[in-house]
Structure 1
Amino acid sequence: MIYRNKFKQANRIFILLIFILSSLCLSSCAKKEQSNQKNNMKHVKTSMIGASPAKWKMPILIPEGQGEMSKVIGWFTNQQIFYVTNLNQTSNLFLYNLLTGKSKLIYKTENPIVNVQISPSRKYLLIHSSPSSLEGLVTIIDSKGTELLKKKFPSYDLVFEWNPFNESKILVTKFAEDWSFQLFLLDTKMGNTTELNLPQPFIQWIKREEVAYLNWDQNSPSLAAPLIFKELRDEGEKTVFSKVIQFSAYRDMLMNVAVNEKETSMADYSFFDKEKKEMFRFSQPQLKKFSDWLVPFYDYSEQKKQFLTFTPFSSGDADTYTDGFELMRYDLKKGTSDLILGGLDNVPISFSPSGDTALLGNSYEKIIDLNKKEIYDLMKE
């Protein structure tokens, strides 16, 4: 009986030793795994640092026999962009890798591509092609080129606004030759359209089921208009700001441009959160056109909470202004600004997903490194 108890006690000690050794082994393995993960992260970070725009493969070399460059469309990732080539009456949509210099054919159309819009999540693309001067063909594909929807719109021109809160919904404004318009809600999942009764052609989403627009009075032209919010399922509407020149709605904030009340030669850029609380504001000189104000091109990086825009050196008449523009970057979180470059033209600009670089130019023919403040040619001249 004594020997049996001693045997049981020894057995328990042996099992306890096994458990302790196993725990030590697992702990050691976990530390090695964490060390490997840290090394991998260091490698990824090093690769990202090494992949600066100065080392990118530019300008774009179009694959042989694939037509002539039409334009760059926009960013897919921080090192990949979409571009379009034209060949006779057809167009090709390519994905270009800036690190490798290789192009991948994503989609080919039988008609010339008018424009391509990348969805806010960058998962889908809307291709607007033109079978004739009075017809537009809308094709929705995923980023791999798989066709999801095709729909024709008898029209002279089309304007699109993708819902960032529900990407299966797209606002489509259809213009006739006399610039009269109809507004439709395209449901890409159901494949149908619903006509909307809204007084203005240029609409933006501010919520999943709510839109905003500037309510211009066609009978009494003015330089500013009230900014209206409207629920699509409700007849009512509300005026949020009374005098706005231009606005842009983003997922996390609203920006509007208005004439400075004390100095009309200056424009106020105001930024509001979703509760309409002002987050940041700055003023800059503005240029007047014949019937409205010139609002220079701009873009917003949701990733960095930064705003990029062109600033004229002085106020005056837009038609006679020749002094060029400064490219300014505003940090909405820090409330700071810095000059990127001066002596530039006022041209479209588009932040990369990271906010470290941007496409620049009427055809996005250049790339600018916003940190090193250097510009590179993306297209051959």
Structure 2
Amino acid sequence: MIHFKTLKQANHAFMLLIFILSSLFLSACSGQEQTKQKIPIKDEKTKETAVPLVKEWKMPISISADQGEFYKVIGWLSDQQIFYVTNLKQSSHLYLYNLITGKSKLIYKTENPIVNVQISPSKKYLLIHSSPSSNEGLVTIIDSKGTELLKKTFPSYDLDFEWNPYNESQILVTKFAEDWSFQLNLLDTKDASTTVLHFPEPFIKWINKDEIAYLNWNRNSPSLDAPLSFNGFGTEGEKTVFANIIQFEVYRNMLMTVSANKQDKSMADYSFFDKKLKKLFSFSIPQLSNYSDWLVPFYDYSEGKKQFITFKPLTSGDADTYSEGFQLIRYDLVKGSSEILLGGLENVPLSVSPSGNAALMGNSFEKIIDLNEKKIYDLKRND
């Protein structure tokens, strides 16, 4: 700091003037440099993150006659791209649709009708299940650009699949016979090999890289719930984690269970746990009963936003006679809050977009919900 009191009076005014002018000049130059650095960065960031709102997307999908007839939407590749399937005579076509441009791109064509398509957890691969005959299932693995990686036939009446999210070269394939007896196989896509597995249940989910989870139903004594069991590959026996579970779901870092409320069986308890089985969040909704089980409404989870979205009946009762419609509810697991998004809806499958801002809805995913604006748009042309 300059101590002007020690300077001679004659130099005081002159030096002070020089100091002020120099400071103003340097400040102006510095400000110009900061402006030059910030503006381009801000502009570039805006260009990267600015995307059209859902209401600006090109919907419904325009399908020409040579593409065939709309069959179903499969799911999300990205926040603005979805896969859908059309059928033309006996063949099926898999397309990638850009919601911003309204353009479709043919990804894969099969001469056999497509039963279903599953997108891998990383969205790098797709499993196409087609049906050459009533007792045969053809599994084709492609990448997201349509390059064929594997083809394998499974003699079966029906097939079910569960992709290993920790190792996508492994897929659990359950083969069902016409009497619904089953055989569980581990498909290794690296060498197209299959290994028969001996677990008591056909519907299995990966809880870790080498560990699976399933509801261990008692076949000799039918019940409305079952113990949730974990079982590791290469280990003996199984361990029961929770008793009296109706349904469960495994996410990357979380386990969700549905059970009947102990005090009031007409209510269903949804509980969320981390990988150490510490409870993170829970809520209850009215429960509908079927003849031999409970009806669990469709749901999905946004990993990025930590939000769970589900349909909720207004009252408890019998599923066959229930006619009051469903509310679509969003639960924020971080804030511990809930929000009604829409009401008067049917209970149909849901698939939330990667960003969590939109969701596919419907038995063929023929609609899109804008979860922020709370509006529904048609993906399938109604004509």
Query: Could you state the TM-score of these two structures normalised by the residue count of structure 2?
Result: 0.90
Matched, 1:39 2:40: no
Is residue 159 of structure 2 the alignment partner of residue 173 of structure 1? no
Correspondence for 1:299 = 300
Distance in 1 (alpha carbons) for counterparts of 2:80 and 2:130: 26
* 2:310 corresponds to: 309
Q: Structure 1 vs Structure 2: percent identity of aligned residues?
A: 68
Partner amino acid, structure 2, of 1:205: W
In structure 2, how many angstroms separate the alpha carbons of the residues matched to 1:299 and 1:276?
20
Distance 1:138 1:359 in 2: 25
Counterpart in 2 of 1:143? 144
What does the per-residue CA deviation read over 1:27-48, in whole Å, with 9 as the maximum and x for residues that have no partner?
A: x989845542221102333x22
Letter in 2 for 1:210: E
Q: How does 1:41-80 map to 2 (within 5 A)?
A: 41-45=45-49, 47-48=50-51, 51-80=52-81
Cα deviation, residue 169, structure 1? 0.5
Deviations along 1:215-242, whole A, 9 cap, x unmatched?
0111100000000000012122100001
1:64 CA displacement: 4.0
The residue that corresponds to 1:191 in the other structure is: 192
Superposed CA offset, 1:126-153 (max 9, x none): 0000000000000000000000000000
Query: Alignment length, in residue pairs?
Result: 353
1:200 counterpart residue number: 201
User: Aligned equivalents of 2:234 and 2:168: distance in 1?
Assistant: 18
- Cα distance between partner residues in 1 of 2:150 and 2:250: 26
Bigger Cα displacement from structure 2, 247-256 vs 227-236: 227-236
Checking the alignment, whether the CA contact within 8 Å between 1:117 and 1:127 is kept in structure 2 is yes
Give the equivalent residue in structure 2 for 1:350. 351
Does the residue aligned with 1:65 lie in a helix, a strand or coil? Answer: helix
* 1-structure distance, mates of 2:105, 2:146: 10
One-letter amino acid of the counterpart of residue 143, structure 2 = D
Distance 1:34 1:128 in 2: 51
Matches for 1:223-372 after TM superposition, within 5 Å:
223-372=224-373
Residues 1:157 and 2:158 are matched in the alignment:
yes
Aligned residue in 2 for 1:213: 214
What is the deviation of 1:190?
Answer: 1.7
Amino acid at match of 1:324: G
Q: Does the 8 Å contact 1:63/1:103 carry over to 2?
A: no
Rounded Cα–Cα distance in structure 2 between residues aligned with 1:130 and 1:172: 15
**Counterpart residue type for residue 52 of structure 1:** L
Matches of 1:121 and 1:58, distance apart in 2? 26
Aligned to 1:96: 97
Aligned residue for 2:45, secondary structure, equals helix
* Contact 1:60/1:380 (8 A) holds in 2: yes
Contact kept? 1:269, 1:283, Cα under 8 Å: yes
The code of the aligned residue for 1:67 comes to G
Q: 2:118 & 2:64 partners in 1: Cα distance?
A: 23
Aligned to 1:16: none
What is the CA–CA distance in structure 2 between the aligned matches of 1:44 and 1:196, rounded to whole Å?
A: 47
**3-state secondary structure, aligned to 2:321:** coil
* CA deviation profile, 1:60-99 (whole Å, cap 9, x unmatched): 0114401000000000010100000000100000000000
CA deviation after TM superposition for structure 1 residue 191, in Å: 1.1
* Equivalent position of 1:22 in the other structure: none
Q: Distance in 1 between matches of 2:41 and 2:143?
A: 32
Distance in 2 (alpha carbons) for counterparts of 1:250 and 1:193: 25
Amino acid at match of 1:308: I
Deviations 1:183-232 (A, max 9, x none): 00001112101000000000000100000000011110000000000001
Shift of 1:368: 0.3
Match of 1:375 in 2: 376
Measured in 1, the distance between the counterparts of 2:275 and 2:34 equals 44
Counterpart amino acid of residue 277 in structure 1: K
SS of the counterpart of 2:262?
Answer: coil
TM-score norm. by structure 1 comes to 0.91
Cα distance in 2 for partners of 1:124, 1:206 equals 21
Q: Which moved more, 1:61-70 or 1:72-81?
A: 61-70
How far apart, in 2, do the equivalents of 1:83 and 1:235 lie?
A: 42
In 1, Cα distance between equivalents of 2:34 and 2:144: 38
Q: Which runs of 4+ in 1 moved over 6 A?
A: 28-31
Over the residues paired in the alignment, what is the CA RMSD in angstroms? 1.5
Distance in 1 (CA, whole Å) between partners of 2:47 and 2:381 is 33
Give how far 1:102 is off. Answer: 0.3
